[in-house]
Structure formats: structure tokens, C-alpha cells
Amino acid sequence: MLKVKNLYHSYTNDENYAVKGISFEIKKGEIFGFLGPNGAGKSTTQKILTGLLTLQKGEAFIAGIDVRKPTEKIFNLIGVSFEHPNIYEKLTGFENLDFYRKMFSVPTKEPMKLLRMVGLEHAATKKAGEYSKGMKQRLVFARSLINNPELWFLDEPISGLDPTTASQIKDIIWQKKQEGVTMFLTTHNMHIADELCDRVAFINEGKIELIDSPRNLKLKYGEKLVKVEYRENEELKKESLSLLDDRDKQKLNKLINEGKIETMHSQEATLEEIFMKVTGRGLK
């Protein structure tokens, strides 16, 4: 669905690149996460792919169409939900969607239906300029679905939202995945990436350091530890035992056989810890 080859971008039109030779592919129906700290080059890549920035060097194809020669077909095919809302403040929420809807030459969704989906139906007749930050974010999110996109670009879809709204947005993303929508999600929130993505790319200083599924990464870089709480001589003890260490394994077996264990949890490395291991820096 999306193919990117050796993509470069310089904001200063020189050798000072914000994106330095990025290549990746996203299969149809896949949720692909772009994970990296501030300034890593995530938004720049998304902007090039969605036509907000000119492609300077490299290649990119959406459904086989060269993004350098954008066609109406690409516009109809993609949905873009970016962090900084670019909405018409003087129009109401409903009018914003209704106006945007007219730009497409494919069947579109009913604005009211979309507003309801993101919990904005009561604010439909309110000017978007009077919306809170989170409401604007939800409006942009809803708007990005108006043309039933096959490829959906999401930039930090739940950052700054309260837990209930964030959970609703996540449910919508899951539903769209079930419908076969392909997603390119950028975030520095490793929990979201872990929860939603089929594969993630670690991007740091304009380069992709690795691409894999969250599960494979955890298996590869995980410590394989088991955290146990057990009682010995009336005293509650806590310990982390490695499943790769023979002495720890013996101890764990002994505790299990003696029935002393009160709680036991396997401990995996988080994506953030793995990111640090791979890149030598954190996601913040």
C-alpha cells in the first residue's frame, strides 16, 4: 500500500538532512508505527508522503502511484489526522466537515455520523474556534475519515486526550483495522505503539534504526525475567529471577515445588527500554 525508498529531506536545501535515507513498506491492512523522539523526522516523513512537503530526494508510492505526481486518486485514497489542527475556526464543527466533504470525488461519510463517533455531536453547531484543544483534535480525527480512506495517516492520535476519549479513539482505530484500513501512525508514545502496531520502525536523527513487530522486539531484547513474591519464615520476599540463569531457574522450581509463591509475573522489556538499547537514547 505504501512503499518508501531512500527518502531524504532538507529544510535548508543543503546536506543538512532532517530525514536521511529512509526506506520501508507498509502492507495493506497493516498498522505501522513510526516511533521516535522529538525531532527524529517522523512528521517530516509523513508530510512528504501526504503531499504537504515536496519530495526532494528518494521515491515514494501510495498504492503504486508516485507521490511526486499526486493525483486525485491519492487524495481520495488517504486520510490525514495530524497533531496540529488546521481547521476553519469561523465555521462550526458540522460546517467544517461538510465543507471538507465536498473536496472528494468518492462517497463520503455523513458529518453528523462522524461527529457522533468522536463524541462531538453536541458541539456540532458551535464554532470550531471555540472548541477546546482536545475537541479540535477529535474534529480533525473525524474529518480524516470522511472519505473512507484506505491509507490513514495518524500523528499522535491520542496525545493530550483524557483516558475515556483516548480509549474511544483507540476503539475506532481497532475497528478501522478490522475493516482493512492501512495505517501509518507516528508517535513517541511507546504504549500506543505496543498496543496498536503490527510493526514499528525506530527512527532516530532522521534514520530508521530497525523495523520489527513489538512482539519480536520484546522476545529478542527482553530479559526473560520472572518477578516472584514468596513467603519465607513469615517474611514476604520479592525477587526477579532470570529464566536464562541456571541457579535462578533452580530457585524458581524450588519455590514452586514448596508452594511458597504468592505472586508471579513474567517481565518483558518495554518498547521504550528496547528503543534505548538500540539507539542509546530515550524517546522523550
Contact positions vs ligand ATP (CB under 6 A): 11, 18, 36, 38-44, 188
Smallest distance, ligand ATP to C-beta of residue 284, A: 10
Smallest distance, ligand ATP to C-beta of residue 40, A: 4
Residue with cell 546536506: 15
Smallest distance, ligand ATP to C-beta of residue 39, A: 4
C-alpha cell at 14: 543543503
Residue 45 or 165: the one with the smaller Cβ distance to ligand ATP is: 45
Smallest distance, ligand ATP to C-beta of residue 205, A: 9
Residue 94 or 184: the one with the smaller Cβ distance to ligand ATP is: 184
Residue 42 or 218: the one with the smaller Cβ distance to ligand ATP is: 42
Q: How far apart are CA 20 and CA 56, in angstroms?
A: 12
Smallest distance, ligand ATP to C-beta of residue 275, A: 13
Backbone angles phi, psi at 138, to 5 degrees: -70, -35
Beta strands in 107-196 (DSSP E): 151-155, 182-187
Residue 136 or 188: the one with the smaller Cβ distance to ligand ATP is: 188
Residue 36 or 149: the one with the smaller Cβ distance to ligand ATP is: 36
Residue 11 or 88: the one with the smaller Cβ distance to ligand ATP is: 11
Beta strands in the chain (DSSP E): 2-9, 19-26, 31-35, 57-62, 65-66, 78-81, 151-155, 182-187, 199-204, 207-212, 225-232, 235-242, 261-267
Q: How far apart are CA 131 and CA 150, in angstroms?
A: 28
Smallest distance, ligand ATP to C-beta of residue 186, A: 6
Smallest distance, ligand ATP to C-beta of residue 157, A: 13
Residue 155 or 268: the one with the smaller Cβ distance to ligand ATP is: 155
C-alpha cell at 9: 529531506
Q: How far apart are CA 90 and CA 93, in angstroms?
A: 9
Residue 11 or 174: the one with the smaller Cβ distance to ligand ATP is: 11
CA 82 to chain centre: 11
Q: How far apart are CA 24 and CA 22, in angstroms?
A: 7
Smallest distance, ligand ATP to C-beta of residue 11, A: 3
- Cβ atoms 49, 71 nearer than 8 A: no
Closest alpha carbon to 224 in 238, 251, 243, 250: 243
Q: How far apart are CA 178 and CA 260, in angstroms?
A: 44
Q: How far apart are CA 277 and CA 209, in angstroms?
A: 11
Q: How far apart are CA 37 and CA 275, in angstroms?
A: 10
